[in-house]
């Protein structure tokens, strides 16, 4: 049994989002929380259904799919996949995910398209994960690789690129992550200006528990928040 008061935490997060948005003249309604539920029991998530939770984020297929299949409220929220995706897990991912945040290579896009055709899905929405900081331990495209990938992806008709995602390095002082978030936003603006078929700069997925306020100040409209809602957990 968890002693974490997820409802109070959720309210506190919403309040912090609201304040961060207002600091830069943005509407808090433009920002959506993806509640990161990896390692979290179903029972800890359900109380939030009454408080406006709209999307949950999972980072492992083997955890996400059974959870999705088990819960009777699965259609009340959107399920996002935010973890590293192997090509051999794409079919399972498409069984639940309405948005995949972590696409970082053409081969994966090709496989998503192939599976989407087989499964007769109308289309699949994805984000491209960009490794802005250049940390060797992080997945993601370099910013320079993104335009060419978007061009090549246009041949895969089921796949719709709807924006960009990044994971900033952990910093004790979240202010230090600002340049990372700013670069992702500017990259998005640049891509939008260039205009690519089947590409729309709809989502900027950046910011986690430690740094979501800075991310919002820099334009994030999807923030992926786990521990601030569900507490620290072993993952
Ligand atoms: C776990 C995770 C998060 C949430 O992290 P917290 O620090 O717990 O908010 C966000 N994004 C990704 C990709 C994650 O794996």
pTM (global) more than 0.95: yes
To 10 degrees, the CA torsion angle through 139, 163, 99, 24?
100
* Cα 93-95-101 angle, rounded to 5 deg: 40
Q: How many residues does the chain have?
A: 235
Residue 82 CB–ligand 1 contact under 6 Å: yes
pLDDT higher than threshold 50 for residue 42: yes
Could you tell me the distance, in angstroms and rounded to a whole number, from the CA of residue 58 to the centre of ligand 1?
9
Ligand 1, residues 203, 226, 234, 235: which to mutate, most atoms within 8 A of Cβ?
226
Tell me: domain 3-230, CATH 3.90.660.10, correct?
no
**CA-closest candidate to residue 36, choices 201, 225, 231:** 225
Per-residue pLDDT band at 234 (split at 50, 70, 90): low
Decide: residue 63, CB within 10 A, 0-12 exposed, 13-18 middle, 19+ buried: middle
Ligand 1, residues 57, 212, 232: which to mutate, most atoms within 8 A of Cβ?
57
pLDDT tens per residue across span 48-77:
999 999 999 999 999 999 999 999 999 999
User: What integer pLDDT is reported at residue 37 of this predicted model?
Assistant: 97
pLDDT tens per residue across span 165-198:
999 999 999 999 999 999 999 999 999 999 998 8
Could you tell me the distance, in angstroms and rounded to a whole number, from the CA of residue 224 to the centre of ligand 1?
6
Q: Looking at the CA of residue 208, tell me the nearest atom of ligand 1.
A: 9
Could you tell me the distance, in angstroms and rounded to a whole number, from the CA of residue 226 to the centre of ligand 1?
6
User: What integer pLDDT is reported at residue 235 of this predicted model?
Assistant: 54
Question: Which residues contact residue 185 at a Cβ distance below 8 angstroms, ignoring those fewer than 6 apart?
Answer: 204, 218, 219
């Amino acid at each position: 049994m968890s002693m974490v008061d997820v409802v109070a935490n959720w309210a506190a997060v919403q309040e912090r989002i609201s304040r961060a948005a207002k600091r830069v003249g943005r509407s808090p309604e433009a920002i959506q929380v993806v509640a990161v539920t990896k390692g979290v029991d179903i029972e800890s998530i359900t109380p939030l259904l009454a408080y406006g939770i709209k999307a949950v984020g999972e980072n492992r297929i083997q955890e996400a799919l059974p959870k999705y299949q088990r819960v009777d409220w699965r259609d009340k929220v959107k399920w996002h996949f935010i973890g590293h995706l192997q090509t051999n897990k794409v079919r399972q991912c498409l069984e639940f995910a309405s948005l995949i945040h972590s696409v970082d290579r053409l081969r994966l896009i090709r496989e998503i398209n192939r599976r989407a055709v087989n499964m007769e899905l109308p289309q699949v929405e994805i984000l491209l994960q960009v490794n802005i900081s250049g940390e060797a331990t992080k997945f993601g495209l370099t910013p320079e690789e993104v335009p060419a990938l978007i061009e090549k992806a246009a041949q895969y008709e089921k796949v719709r690129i709807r924006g960009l995602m990044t994971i900033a390095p952990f910093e004790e002082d979240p202010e230090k992550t600002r340049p990372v978030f700013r670069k992702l936003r500017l990259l998005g603006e640049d891509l939008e200006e260039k205009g690519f078929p089947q590409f729309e700069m709809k989502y900027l997925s950046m910011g986690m528990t430690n740094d979501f306020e800075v991310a919002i100040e820099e334009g994030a409209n999807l923030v992926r928040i786990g521990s601030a809602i569900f507490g620290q957990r072993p993952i």
